[in-house]
Structure 1
Amino acid sequence: MSLLTNVMDHSLDDGYAEAADRKRAAGDAGLPRTLRSRLGLAAGLVLAALVVTVGAAQARVAAPVVAKEREELIDRIDRETTAADKLEGAVDTLRDDVSARQKKALRTSGGGDQADLVGLLSGAVAVHGPGVKLVVNDAKEASTGGDGNPRETSGFSDTGRLRDRDLQRVVNGLWESGAEAISINGQRLTALSAIRAAGDAILVDNKPLVPPYTVLAVGDGKKLSTTFQNSADGLYLHALQETYGIRTAISVESGLQLPAAPSVIVRTAQPKTEKGTS
């Protein structure tokens, strides 16, 4: 405490205090005494004031220019945003037109029930009918392991989260059990759909989904539910529930609504030939 008190009472080192006393005794302290020194000090002060004044004047002159450039930049951003919105609208219109033409081609080429079946299996048309609703969610006390990267953990028990491979098994099990159409959180699946992981998120066709995952499967509801729960993938899901606390709920529904896939890529096509031409 004595050291702290001494430091607070004598903030200036004794050596500095003695040097200041010697300068005062020699008459060197305070303002310059000679005329030349005073003129030099005055010139320095005038120069400093001039620099500050010129800087302030330049800032005042440049302010409107900067403001104008800022307004021009904002206007340019608004114009580019409007143009991008128009292009996006045009792309959506063209996409809808292509989708309509694809649906029309499916109806006219196959004819009748065959065309409807092709559209159903390809995901090109919306589907409604009976089926199964399966809701899958993470464990209640799910945690993130491996710095938030599920690929850095060795098993489901490390995080308590549903993995992409778990959802893959659920979907494949429903297909094998007789599902005619499947969607996950409103995202329609096709034969080309991919279920992948990016960090903690599960991606379906590169679109991130958040739990709970609602899987809708159109088909013979009771038969589909029984067959899936007795299958290897259904038993795998049950094991996740019993062992790791994953939450699941399955129910038979009389009326499900599944949207069409956002885009169906045409892999092969043949030109249509008119009758009577060679």
Structure 2
Amino acid sequence: MTGKDTPARTRSGWRVGVPVVCVAAGLLLGATHGVSGGDEIRSSDAPRLVDLVRESQHSVDRLSAQQSALASSIDNHHGGSPGAEAALTAITNRGDALAAAAGLTPLRGPGLVVTLNDAQRDAHGRFPRDASPDDLVVHQQDIQGVINAMWSAGAEGIQVQDQRIIATSAPRCVGNTLLLNGRTYSPPYVISAVGDSAAMQEALAAAPLVTLYKRYAVRFGLGYTEEVRDVELVGHTEAVRMKYAQPIGPLGY
């Protein structure tokens, strides 16, 4: 009896299973069509890596050719004729001649060194009782007062710390530190100048801001010294860029 029932059960299972599989396959195909919109579902619009590399190489080649053309144009503009060469040589010589006066070359000679320092505590570790924090530190106006007095006495060159002072230099105080050309310094502040030391000392003695600083030095213990000796100044090495200056006429006059 078992042998006769087994084929019947198998045929009955196929009758039920085949329609179920077909329905499931139909649903899957319908969902796939809806997602792909009728297109190939495995296709991709993204460029291949080799295409990206090739495109980048073309861009580099194009920019390199443009750079070469511009460089050639500049060379031809400056050196295309004897007159242009002579003009460029004259400008270069003029720049070299002005470099020393502009503070771009080292300078050495007799001069004066002034040192300013914040107030120091006494033997008991105390400051004067009536002193405020501003009374105990070197300020921007104190440094500028010394520099201006040296210039007025005919200083040939001035250096603050390890930097040469030029026309665009602007020492500034940030808290209790000095900011000069993007670099910060802590006291003591050493101001060195090449020139007539006697004339510079006389100018310092007559400068109102320096005189006021000396009074504070006596009252609150600020540091102030003058030393006559040979001075060696460095040349200004940073790029000189004019951010706001511009010619006012066709020839700059």
1:258 shift after superposition: 0.4
1:265 aligns with 2:245: no
TM-score, with length taken from structure 1: 0.47
AA partner of residue 198 (structure 1)? V
Look up the SS of the partner of 1:122 in the other structure.
coil
Q: Which amino acid aligns with 1:247?
A: G
Partner of 2:231: 256
Distance in 2 separating the partners of 1:136 and 1:173: 15
Q: What are the within-5 Å matches in structure 2 for residues 116-135 of structure 1? A: 118-135=98-115
How many percent identity over aligned positions? 25
Rg larger in structure: 2
Q: Alpha-carbon deviations, 1:223-253, whole Å to 9, x = none?
A: 2222222222331231221232211110211
Question: 1:157/1:132 Cα in 2 relative to 1: closer, same or farther (>3 Å)?
Answer: same
Higher helix proportion (structure 1 or 2): 1
Number of the residue aligned with 2:193: 217
Cα 1:239–1:177 change in 2 (3 A) is farther
Distance 1:215 1:122 in 2: 18
Which runs of structure 2 are paired with 1:228-267 in the superposition (5 Å)? Answer: 228-253=204-229, 255-265=230-240, 267=242
Q: Give me the TM-score of the superposition, normalised by structure 2.
A: 0.52
1:186-225, aligned counterparts within 5 Å? Answer: 186-225=162-201
1:1-278 equivalences under 5 Å are 108-109=93-94, 115=97, 118-141=98-121, 158=134, 160-253=136-229, 255-265=230-240, 267=242
For 1:132, give the aligned amino acid.
L
What code does the residue aligned with 1:256 have? V
* Counterpart residue identity of residue 116, structure 2: V
CA displacement 1:89-114 (0-9 Å, x = unmatched): xxxxxxxxxxxxxxx97872278xxx
Instruction: Check whether the contact 1:122–1:264 (CA below 8 A) recurs between aligned residues.
Output: no
Structure showing greater relative contact order (alpha-carbon pairs closer than 8 Å, 6 or more residues apart): 2
**What residue is the counterpart of 1:8 in the other structure?**
none
Distance 1:198 1:110, change over 3 A: closer
Query: Is the contact between residue 156 and residue 162 of structure 1 (CA under 8 Å) also seen in structure 2?
Result: no
C-alpha deviation, 1:174, in angstroms: 1.8
Give, in whole Å, the separation in 1 of the partners of 2:90 and 2:220.
48
Partner of 1:43: none
Distance 1:105 1:214 in 2: 38
Q: What's the offset of the Cα at 1:264?
A: 4.3
SS of 2:120's equivalent in the other structure is: coil
> 3-state DSSP class of the match of 1:197?
strand
Q: Mind listing any 5+ residue stretches in structure 1 that lack a counterpart?
A: 1-103, 144-154, 271-278
Give the AA of the match of 1:258.
Answer: L
Partner AA of 2:237 in structure 1: P
User: Aligned residue pairs: how many?
Assistant: 150
Deviation at 1:200, TM superposition (A): 2.3
Counterparts in 2 of 1:202 and 1:213: CA distance versus 1, 3 Å: same
The whole-number CA distance in structure 1 between the counterparts of 2:161 and 2:152 is: 20
1:269 offset after TM fit, Å?
10
CA distance in 1, matches of 2:177, 2:163: 15
Question: What SS does the aligned partner of 1:123 have?
Answer: coil
Q: Tell me, in whole angstroms, the C-alpha distance in 2 between the residues paired with 1:263 and 1:105.
A: 24
Unaligned runs of 5+ in 2: 1-88, 126-130, 248-253
Report the RMSD for the aligned CA atoms in angstroms: 3.0
